[in-house]
Amino acid sequence: MRLLNSRKRLQVGDGTMDDIDKIRTSVLSRIRPGDAEKQKLHELAHSMIERIDDLGKIEGLDIRARLVGSSARGTWLAGERDLDIFIMFQPDVTREFLEEKGLFVARKIAEKAESCEERYAEHPYISAVFDGFEVDIVPAFGVHSAADIRSAVDRTPFHNNYVLPRIRGFEDEVLLMKQFMKGAGIYGSELKTHGFSGYLVELLVIHCGSFMDVLEAACGWKPGMTIDIEKHASMEHKDPLVVVDPTDPDRNVAASLSLDNLCIFIDRACEFLENPDASYFNVKVPDVLDDDGFRKMMKARGTSLIAIEFRAPDVVEDVLFPQLHKMEESVKEMLERYDFRVYNSAVRADANAVLIFELEASGLPDLKKHAGPQVWSRQHALAFKSKYSDSIAFSNIHIRDGKYMVEIPRKYSNAKKLAVMELSKCSLGKHVGLSIKEGYRILEGDEILKIRDEEFRRFLRRFFEK
């Protein structure tokens, strides 16, 4: 492996560096924000900070506005148009005070927005649209050290402080890295994606030095790797990748990264090094799968498909998706407990949530083999015999491998019927559970074509083709 990697490195260094430069230039010209966008963002940020600070003075509040996140660091991708403005309170105010006054200030500022809504993380904040920019106005405690944070968002300014001086001059590397992650479908640490956060990408660039250096490092990674830039880790983590937060020795910045998304990155890194190509930076949108294409695909595969559809509960994705995945696991476990073999499963949500399960077969024989106790445990034997000797069975009670055995009718020989009858017994999250109680439908095979939504049909194609 070592040798192979070295050879590949040389190849990149000697033979194809020109190619890589060309790819960088072409991709960067697409993803680097233009001067007009930059100026507009800075003006908007400046004016918002001024207005918050002014409002603080008028209201007699000891607050200070700060621009944080990628817009503060010059590492946002062209067109993202996201702004994170923090309202920093003194660290000793009460949580109630911060929530009340913070929301008051944010609302005041948002009065001039094109649209706005209140959102909830650990405490409420305002998300508003100004001039096409989505601006999050977030109250936070301005604690003196990252060790003293009172709310998860309090960490953000420390991240800003750490990254800002170290990333200057490396902004392009971060942009390339982020776009590369986007192309692989693994950018974003939300619980829908389980990918790489912007902060994680910045830390990797700071640690390795450049886009190409990160790829070369990643191509040699194995799950279980730890990166500890400040060499101050104070906790064990069992996550696939551990990147110790330089501002908090207890925290793994990559905690929400899934094993498979890490592996996708490792794989893509190696592939790109061996065969650099601009296509790695393109986000692939699958084609819509039409009725005919669906029928052809199912016929060729020979498998059976079952979908459960219900109204998506009105909660943020970070609440919704863990519940959907919990339901997916629970239904899959139930199907397999009843001998249906699940080849693939996936979830999707917009207004409606859909879970789909691809099965080896949706039907099983009516007959099921049922093993009883060992022959030499007489009390269990008697209980087993009295239970099954008079019931309807396909066979007499007999003996196989030292145990009693009987062939009885299967409770569910059809997967759809199983799902209909037993779905309520599956372990469902709170909001999904309530939504399911209001109603759902279970579709089998061609019935799934009743879902005509284009995004669902793209999702279906990806589900099949991967």
Binding site for a second copy (CB under 8 A): 1, 4-5, 219, 221-223, 259-260, 263-264, 266-267, 270, 300-303, 343, 360-361, 364-367, 369, 375-379, 381, 394-402, 407, 413, 464-466
Minimum CB distance to a second copy, residue 428 (Å): 24
The residue written with tokens 């619980």 in the block is: 191
**Neighbouring-strand partners of residue 137:** 85, 126
Give the nearer residue to a second copy in terms of CB position, either 96 or 401.
401
Residue closer to a second copy by CB (options 22, 341) is 341
DSSP of 387-409: HHSSS--SS--EEETTEEEEEEE
If the CB atoms of residues 329 and 465 are measured against a second copy, the closer one turns out to be 465
Is 318 or 465 the residue whose CB approaches a second copy more closely?
A: 465
- What does the DSSP assignment read for 9-35? HHHHHHTSHHHHHHHHHHHHHHHSPPH
What minimum distance in Å lies between the beta carbon of 364 and a second copy? 7
CA atoms within 13 A on the CB side of 140: 28
Q: For residues 63 and 215, which CB has a smaller minimum distance to a second copy in the complex?
A: 215
| Nearest to a second copy of 15, 376 (CB atom) | 376
SS3 140: strand
Q: How far is the CB of 215 from a second copy (least distance, A)?
A: 13
Measured from the CB atom, the residue of 52 and 406 that comes closer to a second copy is 406
Tell me whether residue 402 is exposed, middle or buried, using C-beta atoms within 10 angstroms of its C-beta: 0 to 12, 13 to 18, 19 or more: exposed
CB of 301 to a second copy, least distance (A): 4
Cβ neighbors of 100 (< 8 A, separation 6 or more) are none
> Do the Cβ atoms of 251 and 266 come closer than 8 Å?
no
- Collapsed DSSP state (helix, strand, coil) of residue 418: helix
From the CB of 417, what's the least distance to a second copy, in Å? 14
Minimum CB separation from a second copy for residue 445, in Å?
Answer: 13
CB of 226 to a second copy, least distance (A): 15
442: how many CB neighbours lie within 10 A of its CB?
A: 18
Tell me which residue of 204, 235, 232 sits closest to 217, measured CA to CA: 204
